[in-house]
Amino acid sequence: MQTRLFLGIDTSYYTCSVALVDEDGRLLEDQRRLISVAEGERGVAPNEAVWAHLNALPDLAEPVLRRHGRSVAAVAASVKPRPVEGSYLPPFRVGEGFGRALASALGVPFYPTTHQEMHIQAGLWSADTPPRGDRFLAVHLSGGTTELIRVTRRPGGFGEELLGGTQDLHAGQFVDRVGVALGLPFPAGPHLERLAASGEPGRVRLPSAVRGYTVSFSGPESAAQRLVGQAAPADLALAVLHTVARTVEKWLLHAMEETGLREVLIVGGVAANQIVRARLRHRLEHPAVGARLAFAQPRFSTDNAVGTALLARACHGVSS
């Protein structure tokens, strides 16, 4: 009997991705392409992102299909950012259209999913110690999302209850804006982390703004921008990352007190940062707090289609 394979597509704003997994959840293909951003710029317009995905997706998918196309049993694509009504971002329509047409041509089912569910699935699949319970907290930290969610496992995906989010900038925007102001390339996250590695803790301290389930990064960003050219770049970079971690720490302490949940999955590009991870583990896994943190492996914290392929597998009724 031929092994069934499951294809995932994710066309998030800055990364075009195609992935393939088998019936056992083993990763066979993981193809990605970052959308280029001009030096000194903090992003691209939606129409530019759509055009970039239209060009990148066939280049990524065609070699995968030549190798494995006859064994594909289902296709899934992230069709919007979050699993709620009104969630929309133009680049996702590129992946949805390609995925629907491909599934029709292959005569296999197409399963629509979302970018956020992809991140959660990739995190559960790749984390060393994923949450064990049917319900857990999830934090999604990226350039386009900063949300705290109560997640319930269900067949083929997840039930998500939004607990809170940012009222202005996302965590990734905070990192990118300060990073670009420091002369780093966009996206600035990995470069800021390397710069921060030589920073001195405590030399620069930025505010963190948390009120209940709402966080804010505009105040910390303004404070950081005022220090560009005055504070040592490495010290300022470290302060930015410590502010992200301190904000998430306060946020989760409130959520754990309110919900009673102690298992937490943290995903998204900003969650790949080792400085942020280390500080959160030190503070929240302390016996006095008792949290159990799970992080996606760094490669699967950033935007990818691996979680989408795994959701195609789950939606098709293949059990773990």
Burial class (CB within 10 angstroms; exposed 0-12, middle 13-18, buried 19+) of 229:
exposed
198 phi, psi to nearest 5 deg = -100, 10
Angle at the Cα of 133 (from 127 to 138), degrees rounded to 5? Answer: 55
Distance of CA 245 to the CA centre of its chain: 16
pLDDT confidence of residue 125: 97
Q: What tens digit of pLDDT does each residue of 143-179 get?
A: 989 999 999 998 888 999 999 999 999 999 999 999 9
Q: What is the torsional sign of CA 250, 256, 259, 263? A: positive
Burial class (CB within 10 angstroms; exposed 0-12, middle 13-18, buried 19+) of 12:
buried
pLDDT confidence of residue 85: 85
pLDDT confidence of residue 320: 60
Q: DSSP state, 44? A: -
Give the chain's domains with CATH numbers.
5-122+302-315 (3.30.420.40), 128-295 (3.30.420.40)
Q: What tens digit of pLDDT does each residue of 53-79 get?
A: 999 999 999 999 999 999 999 999 999
Give the mean pLDDT per block of 10 residues along the chain (320 residues).
89 95 97 87 86 97 96 97 88 97 98 95 96 95 94 89 96 96 94 97 96 97 98 98 98 97 96 96 95 96 96 86
pLDDT confidence of residue 94: 97
**At a CB cut-off of 8 Å and minimum separation 6, what does 196 contact?**
234, 237, 238, 240, 241, 275
Stated pTM of the model: 0.92
pLDDT confidence of residue 21: 98
